[in-house]
Structures are given as C-alpha cells and as structure tokens.
Structure 1
Amino acid sequence: MDKPLTGKTIILGITGGIAGYKAATLCSRLVSLGAAVRVIMTEGATKFITPLTLQTISRHPVATDVFDERDASIVQHIDWADAADLVVVAPATANSIAKMAHGLADDMLSTTLLAVTAPILVAPAMNVHMWEHPAVVDNVEKLAARGVTFVEPGTGQLACGYVGKGRLAEPDEIVSCIVEKIAGSRPLRGQRVLITAGGTIERIDPVRYITNDSSGKMGFAFAEAARDWGAEVTLIYGRVDSTPPQGVHAVSVTSADEMYEAVMSRLPEQDIVIKSAAVADYRPRLQETTKIKKKDEVQALDLVRNRDILHSIGLWKEQLKQQGKTTLPFIVGFAAETNDLEKYAMDKLNRKKCDLIVANDVSQSGAGFGTETNIVSLYDADGLLLQLPQLSKKDVAKRVLDIVLARIGAEKGLER
C-alpha cells in the first residue's frame, strides 16, 4: 500500500460540531497512509465523539485539557507543536476560526495553534448563514493572508435542516489536500481522467436480466490511484460490489446504452480514458413490461448487439486526428479473456484504436472478476509491452498509470 505520509506527524484538531463524527474516518485514513496522528479535542468536540474513539484509531493518547500534563519532563502543547509537520483542524467551527484569527488561547487546541510553526490546514463546518456572515468571512480572509490553507466546505443538507454551503468536506477530499501539502505536487495534477467500472445490466423483464461477473474493483482501483495522483476523476460505473471511492465524480448507470451515453457525452473534456468496465455485448431485442411466465420446455431469447463503447471512443479519436487536432486523449482498453490472450488483446487494440490494452486471463486464480488481485499483460502497437506478476488491483492501476505518464508526460510536461 502506498503510504505517502510515512514519517510525518500530523496534529488533528477537532472542534465542537456535529461533523465531528467524520474526524474518525479522517484520522483512520491518515493513519493508513503512514502518518503519526496526535489528536486534540475541544470540550465541545467531546460532546459529539469520544476521545476513546480517536485514541483507539490513532493509537495515541488524545489531548483535551491544557492543564493535564502527563509527562513532567515536557510541556505537552509545546512538544506537540514542535513535532508537527502539519496541523489540521477538522471540523473547524466559526468559534474556533475566530479564536485562530484573533490569537486567543483558552484551551489545548488554541494554545497549541499559537505555538506551532508547521503549516495549518482548516476544514470549516457550520450553518450556511454562519459561513456567509461578514465576521466569519473576515476571519477566514485574515487567516488565509497569514498562510493558513482552507478546504472549502461542501454544499448539501446541513444538520440544522438548511441546504447550502457549510457542510464539512468529505474525509478523502481533506486527505488529498493533506497529501498534496506534505508530499508535494502529484503527477496527474490538472489532468482529467474518465474511468468506467463494473458490469452492465440488460433487462429481460422486470425481474430478470443479463449481466456478468464484474465487481468494479479494478475500475475503482484506477479511480483511487488517479485521484491520489491529483487527477480530476470521472468514474462511470454500472453494477458493482462496493461503494465508489470518495473524491471522484461518480456517475451511476445501469445498461450498456446508459454507459455509452454517459461516456460519449463527457469525452471532449478528458485527457485520459480508462475503459475497464465489462459491458454486455448484447441485450434482449424486447424488454417485457411484465414477468415472462413459464410455458414451454424451451424459451428462446432474441438478442441484439449493443453499441461498442471502446470502438466508438477510438473512432472519435481518429476523427480528431483527421481534423488536425494535436492534443488527443490517451485511450486504455481492457481485454478479459480465457484463452489466446495476446492474439485477442492485439486484435482488440488494433480494431478499436487504443493506445494501450490491459489484458488478463480471467480463468487464472487471482486474476478473475471479484478478486482483490490481478495478473495482467500490457500491449501497445508494437506488441507485448510488460507482463506484471500477481499484484493488488491498486498496484496494477499504479503500474499502468506509470506507463501512461511515461507516454504523455513529455508532451504535457508531467513528471512522475
């Protein structure tokens, strides 16, 4: 697992808002990325989530009282402030932002914030009218002018019942900002990546359908990897076994036709297209509006071909070339086979005009649908480019993205 925060110490300040429950997920993600997390909670924060929860997740004692000095050899808030590589306040209430702006120090968190010299990142959460109040706006501007970074609150249903801007940014969005601030610029920053994932459903009648064994895990792994490398990710997914990753623009579809429309309408905006979904080749000619009743010993099902999404993408790219366009998207296709892998992969690459084909033999153990791992071979116009051993799907995604970066990096100024 990639751990870009290994060796880094992050102070996570949690203040008294209902969004405090999200701090547990944020803390868990930071720990999983290698960070040593020291949690400071205000008295108000402990009303929404317990210190024991954060202590268990961070594996370190949680500080709540500036006068609770457990080690006589140090002054805790100074020791923590000196050790921090970054301070994150999430959620940050209007009150905590005001304290920071005016230099107040009446609890453990505000006292530590005055002593810290590391960068500070603030993720506000409050009622929409509070966020727009001139006093809050002024305080945010003061802190921004001093170099404090803000993760803008999102728009949506707020705990108070209002709908508007003020909800805490999702933990994965905050984590992305933290990784960027600590680990530096990411190689796909500024690039727009479209990824398809999962299987499609082709209805026979209201209770029956045609589909396949795709779980969406490979496509989701690509979405996570591209997101973590700074890309703006659009994920179009069909039938899947898990929840799409946070921090991407996720579009749910059902049928091959729906996926076709969702993909083709977004193509002109993309720099990279990764077509990993397992789309049904055929659909029933007729979709019955009522359940088909059992009658004869043999029931025939008349099928017609679906539009080929990958082929349509390739044709669209060829049209751009003929129009003299020089900036073209990089197209990655997938070939899930059970025999003659290279033959079918190269045929698919040439017919569908891909830049790269990721092929796997789904009959192999550890490489089929629904697994946590994959075994793939990569092909370009010259034939076999690279064979990868059995790896986690996230690692496969990163290896493929490395190759994509190598191909497009020179012309776009991207560096890995």
Structure 2
Amino acid sequence: MGKISHRSPFVPEKLVRLAPLAGVRFATAEAGIRYKGRTDLMVAVLDEGTTVAGVLTRSKTASAPVLACRKHLAGGAARLLIVNSGNANAFTGMKGREAVDRTVAAGAAAANCAEHEVFVSSTGVIGEPMDAGRFVHLIDGLVNSAVPDAFEAAARAIMTTDTYPKLATRRTSIGGVEVTINGFCKGAGMIAPDMATMLCFIFTDAAIAAAALQALLSEHVETTFNAMTVDGDTSTSDTCLVFATGAARARGQEPVEKVGAEALADFSRALHDLMRDLAIQVAKDGEGLSKFVTFVVEGAESVEAARRIALACANSPILKTAIAGEDPNWGRVVMAVGKAGEAADRDKLSIWFGAHCVAWNGERSAEYDEAAAAAYMKNREIVIRINVGVGEAAAHVWTCDLTHDYIAINADYRS
C-alpha cells in the first residue's frame, strides 16, 4: 500500500475534536496484524449498564465478526468493543470463527463481563487467515490502560485506505438534560452499504433502552449510510454500532424505555445529523476521488424507486469517469436512469448539472450552454438533479468520481 500517495482533496484542515464522554474509554496498540509502524488494534471499554444497537451487512459472505455481533446484539448490552484493521477475518472458515471466539473470551476476561457483552469488528484484506495470537495477549493491558480522551486515536487505529479519520459530535437534550453523541467511522473503498456502512461506532452518554436505540438507528441508516456509495461494492464487514452508556442518569435524565418516545425527538434529530455527517465524510474520502457528487432524484413513484435510480447513477463507472474528466455528459445520466429498472417517463425526463438545465422534457434543453456546464464541472463538489416525471417522491445519494488513482489503489491493495 505504500506505493499510492493519493490524498483526498477534502481532508479537513483541522479535525473535529471529540471531547471525553462519560462511560467509555479507549486504548490502541500496534499489533502488527498487517501494517508496520501504525496502530491496528483498538478497544472501547464501556461502563456497566451500557445498551447497544446495531445494523450489519446483508452480504451473503459476511465476516465472522459480523456474525458474532449479530448474535450478541440480541442481548442488548455491551461492555467492550474490540476492533482490528489489516485483516477482515472474512472468508476464513472455521479458523475465522475460532479467532473471534478467542478474541471474545479474552475480552470478557479482561473486562470481567459476559461474552455476549463483547463486540468485535475487523476490516482489511478478505481471505487471509486471522491469527488472534498476534493481539489477544494485548487486550487485558489495553482494557486496563484505556482513557476517555482518545477518540481520534481510536478512529486512526481502524483506518485502512482512508486518508483521514472521520469524526463527528453533537450535543442535544433528553427531558431537559444535555447529552452528547460522539462517533467515528472508516471507509474509502468497497463502499456500497446494504444496511449501514464499513465500520462505524457511535457513543452517547444518554440512557436509552436497547430497543428504542435500535429503532432510531434502523430508521436513520436508510437516509444516511444507505444513501452513500463509493464504488457499488458492499463489504463483507459492514458494521454500525451505537452504544448508550447511560451516564446522563447521574445528571437527572430519566431513562427512555419506549420505542418512539416523544422524549427522544431532539436526540433522534441529532443522531440523524451525526450519521449524515459521517456518511458524507466517507464519500469525500472515496479511494482516488477528485470530486464529491450528490445525485438528487425527483418525480419518482416512491422514495425507494428514487433511491435506486440515484444509486444507478452513483454506481455507474462510465458516468463517474465522465465526472472525473469534467465532462457534462448528460447522456450518461439518461443511460443510468434507464437501466435502474424503475418507472421513468423518457419524454418528461429533465436533468440539471448544478443550476444548469442540460435536458428538459425528454431532450436537450433549449437553454443548454456547453461552456457554462463544462465550467461547472470543474468544481470540487457537483450536484446532479434528475426529475423522472412519474410521481412526487424524491431521494438523494452521495458519491464521488472514479479516477485512475482508484484503479492504482485497488490494483496494489495486497502488494
């Protein structure tokens, strides 16, 4: 991986600082799983009483850690999160399951908790056997040395081809008591979430029952992580977990038990905003990108249809390469709409690149100005709006362009 020097043009000048959050502590280590000279193992230690919710990949070749998380989520409680980068522990057969079991057992012993309260996640190369012996001996020390003020270090430890750690924070209230939501995620390639995203971990000091937390996460994932794609490839490891430590109880917050409780209205909006922020950051760090692109589809039969049309555009290599080449080739948008398999009226189809109407009611717009449209395509951030003329529903999808660097990064991934 050292041969590729591409850096996202959207790397922030200054990273968002996530302040310590009561009820969670972090530690990282260099375990040498794949990378040398960088951290590749992270633990998050959670106070007793922490609840958890999650959404996981629907890939039919899901990793061993995903299967373990799916099983442990049924308990609704969490005390420890263990994440490694460099090896996805996917397509690793019985050895992969044994590595997870060994990791969970070591974590439970270190945190003095039940095994179903330990969550594991892995990211990296698929198909390489996972040697848990490289890192399980480190877990006890990490649990004991974990500190609250280490969100950025934790985010860096789970990176693979990312060019910067994705961090976000929000403050809101429940019943008049202020609570905080902090989150971080990783992802740059093999990104087309089918439930959640690559790896994303969100923490709050709010006191919320697991079922209520799960309802919020499942609702918001559709218009955040599931509305983002880099290359159309759904990972075997996609995992998004939300942990509620309940520390706000000490400040007078009444625990929220019921799904859909009115007391969660402000929290729900803040959680959605944070997830949206993280999803956009992933798209802005897509492997090899030069542009961040938003597709907005209007006039569709349903929101689901609108999203599928937008995804057809966002995942089209021929359209994404045109954007990389700064070519306002609206014919490729027409193609992508047509292949989506959703209702669209060809003779009412209209397309805008930014404010420039390039097609109107099924043909090239009379006001189309090639020079103006080409000038717009030189922007780093592009919005392409499409009206398919069959209904009232709309949806958006965030993505990036497709450049030579994407090919170079992925051709060299295991070298």
**TM-score surpassing 0.5?**
no
Structure with higher RCO (Cα < 8 A, 6+ apart): 2
Q: Which has the larger radius of gyration?
A: 1
